């Protein structure tokens, strides 16, 4: 990753009014205001535009910093000045927060977007997607297809990467089940223990804060140090402060939007880096937990990590822009709002595609008595040429009982689509030789 340039420290005592006059002379005052409000760029972009405009870059940055300081709010996270955090609310942020408010919670009901009868299936699928993507962000080396088949079949993990994914899936389920609970340091440690189970070289580091200061955030390409976390001796105090922040015990003297706050919690875990490993996965888990707790129910059905996975460089830059520019969280919040927005759009497209597929399969199987789950299995046979199913896989996939899953599969056996074969102590359901023809012939 290309090294990010630090913003300049400006010692000159320029008068703000004089700087604005110079900007007005080159007819760029309104444009600068519009750019700042619509995209909130980092120093490097302002430096580029200054060159394009034949304007002193340091003077332009001074103007930007003064303009931002007028509306900037301070988050008193910790008494030590170096942990002070700042936030701005440019128009682009307000717009995205408003749109997400309308989409992720409010007066909408799950059935307005997701059919009620399919709600559980979508939830299970999304938790799996988030578990896979969040693990891949931290280096899990496996494909999405293999990982999802493992989770759906409840197969035991075969390697470290698969164990990371299983752990992430377990913690996502834990979050949904415990969404009303308060967070304490012990709860954070419990989440971390689930996330890192059987994945760390030192078993004692699972569910435990780091005990040394030899943790550094390194650019894997250049070897450059990107972040030095706070010393170990400050962890207890910082994590106590974090839990107060998460539980809304320390009220700010201004309104801090819940989605922004969830993103800040995500940032703080990465910044504090309380664990030897597993910080990113823990940060994203707490992000989900806070939004679900605050009533943003649709986030349960989305995989934000999948979007981040597609733009990891920008994810790292958002962290660095914030830290290098005096802990200005606006950069990190805007990046994550875009990821949430993209994840929401992906969910809508996925639901639209599934609805089209269901409509097509309903047309194909009109005048038959297959239920929705059986039609979904038939769809997999036709689309993916899937030939093998198990009771446990259907049970996990649809969130139904063992008996319901068994009944679904046995009905497909009675229709000549599947056949049951014993494999050791297990029963497997295989596509019959003429199974696809029988599906088509059902019309």
| 290 and 148, same domain (yes or no) | yes
CATH of the domain at 374: 1.10.10.10
Residue of 336, 347, 397 lying closest to 372 (CA atoms) = 397
Which two tokens mark 197? Answer: 């189970």
Which two tokens mark 390? Answer: 């198990």
Which two tokens mark 354? Answer: 């599934």
CATH of the domain at 152: 1.10.3290.10
| 140 and 280, same domain (yes or no) | yes
| 319 and 387, same domain (yes or no) | no
The pLDDT score that the predictor gives to residue 107 is: 47
| 419 and 296, same domain (yes or no) | no
| 94 and 230, same domain (yes or no) | yes
The pLDDT score that the predictor gives to residue 78 is: 66
Q: Which SS3 state, helix, strand or coil, does residue 6 take?
A: coil
Q: How far is CA 343 from CA 129, 220, 231, 310, in A?
A: 11, 27, 35, 11
**β-strand pairing of 225-227 with 217-218:** antiparallel
- Tell me if 87 is assigned to some domain: yes
| 67 and 91, same domain (yes or no) | no
The pLDDT score that the predictor gives to residue 93 is: 96
The pLDDT score that the predictor gives to residue 121 is: 66
- Tell me if 360 is assigned to some domain: no
| 246 and 328, same domain (yes or no) | yes
The pLDDT score that the predictor gives to residue 110 is: 45
Residues in a beta bridge with 389 = 429
Which two tokens mark 100? Answer: 């997400």
Helix (H) / strand (E) element for 225: namely strand 225-227
The pLDDT score that the predictor gives to residue 129 is: 84
- Tell me if 1 is assigned to some domain: no
- Tell me if 2 is assigned to some domain: no
Distance of CA 274 to the CA centre of its chain: 20
Chunked mean pLDDT (size 10), the chain, 443 residues: 85 92 95 96 96 96 95 78 83 94 64 58 76 81 84 87 90 87 91 93 92 77 74 90 86 86 94 91 91 85 78 86 94 94 84 76 75 85 79 87 92 89 84 78 53
In 247-364, alpha helices (H): 258-272, 279-293, 304-309, 312-324, 330-364
Q: Of 349, 376, 400, which residue sits at a domain end?
A: 349
The pLDDT score that the predictor gives to residue 114 is: 60
Residue of 140, 143, 139 lying closest to 165 (CA atoms) = 140
Q: How many domains does the chain have?
A: 3
- Tell me if 5 is assigned to some domain: no
Q: Of 318, 349, 380, which residue sits at a domain end?
A: 349
| 50 and 129, same domain (yes or no) | no
Range of the domain at 323: 74-349
Q: Of 292, 318, 349, which residue sits at a domain end?
A: 349
| 271 and 300, same domain (yes or no) | yes
Q: Which SS3 state, helix, strand or coil, does residue 417 take?
A: coil
| 240 and 340, same domain (yes or no) | yes
In this structure, the number of other CB atoms found within 10 A of the CB of residue 299 comes to 28
| 62 and 104, same domain (yes or no) | no
- Tell me if 7 is assigned to some domain: no
The pLDDT score that the predictor gives to residue 257 is: 93
| 115 and 55, same domain (yes or no) | no
The pLDDT score that the predictor gives to residue 79 is: 53
- Tell me if 8 is assigned to some domain: no
């Amino acid at each position: 990753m290309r090294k990010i340039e630090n913003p300049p420290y400006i010692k000159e005592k320029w008068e703000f009014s004089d700087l604005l006059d110079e900007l007005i002379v080159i007819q760029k005052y309104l444009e600068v205001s519009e750019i700042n409000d619509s995209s909130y760029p980092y120093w490097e972009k302002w430096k580029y535009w200054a060159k394009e405009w034949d304007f002193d870059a340091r003077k332009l940055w001074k103007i930007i910093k003064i303009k931002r300081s007028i509306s900037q709010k301070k988050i008193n996270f910790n008494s030590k000045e170096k942990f002070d955090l700042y936030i701005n609310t440019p128009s682009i942020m307000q717009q995205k927060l408003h749109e997400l408010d309308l989409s992720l919670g409010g007066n909408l009901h799950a059935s307005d977007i997701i059919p009620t009868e399919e709600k559980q299936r979508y939830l299970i699928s999304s938790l799996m997607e988030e578990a896979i993507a969040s693990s891949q962000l931290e280096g899990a080396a496996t494909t999405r297809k293999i990982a999802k088949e493992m989770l759906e079949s409840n197969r035991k993990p075969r390697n470290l990467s698969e164990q990371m994914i299983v752990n992430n899936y377990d913690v996502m389920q834990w979050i949904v089940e415990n969404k009303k609970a308060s967070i304490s340091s012990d709860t954070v440690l419990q989440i971390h223990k689930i996330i890192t189970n059987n994945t760390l070289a030192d078993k004692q580091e699972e569910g435990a804060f780091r005990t040394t200061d030899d943790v550094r955030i390194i650019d894997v390409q250049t070897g450059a140090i990107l972040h030095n976390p706070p010393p170990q001796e400050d962890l207890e105090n910082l994590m106590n402060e974090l839990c107060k922040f998460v539980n809304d015990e320390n009220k700010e003297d201004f309104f801090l939007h819940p989605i922004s706050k969830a993103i800040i919690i995500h940032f703080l875990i990465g910044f504090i880096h309380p664990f030897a490993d597993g910080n990113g996965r823990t940060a994203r888990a707490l992000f989900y937990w806070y939004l679900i707790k605050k009533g943003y129910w649709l986030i349960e059905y989305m995989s934000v990590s999948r979007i981040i996975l597609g733009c990891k460089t920008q994810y790292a830059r958002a962290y660095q822009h914030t830290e290098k520019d005096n802990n200005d969280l606006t950069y990190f919040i805007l990046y994550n709002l875009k990821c949430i927005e993209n994840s929401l759009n992906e969910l809508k497209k996925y639901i639209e595609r599934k609805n089209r597929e269901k409509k097509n399969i309903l047309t194909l199987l009109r005048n038959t008595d297959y239920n929705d789950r059986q039609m979904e299995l038939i769809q997999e046979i036709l689309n993916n040429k899937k030939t093998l199913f198990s009771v446990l896989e259907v049970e996990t996939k649809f969130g139904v009982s063992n008996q319901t899953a068994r009944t679904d599969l046995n009905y497909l056996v009675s229709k000549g689509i599947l056949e049951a074969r014993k494999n050791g102590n297990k029963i497997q359901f295989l596509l019959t030789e003429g199974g696809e023809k029988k599906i088509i012939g059902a019309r």
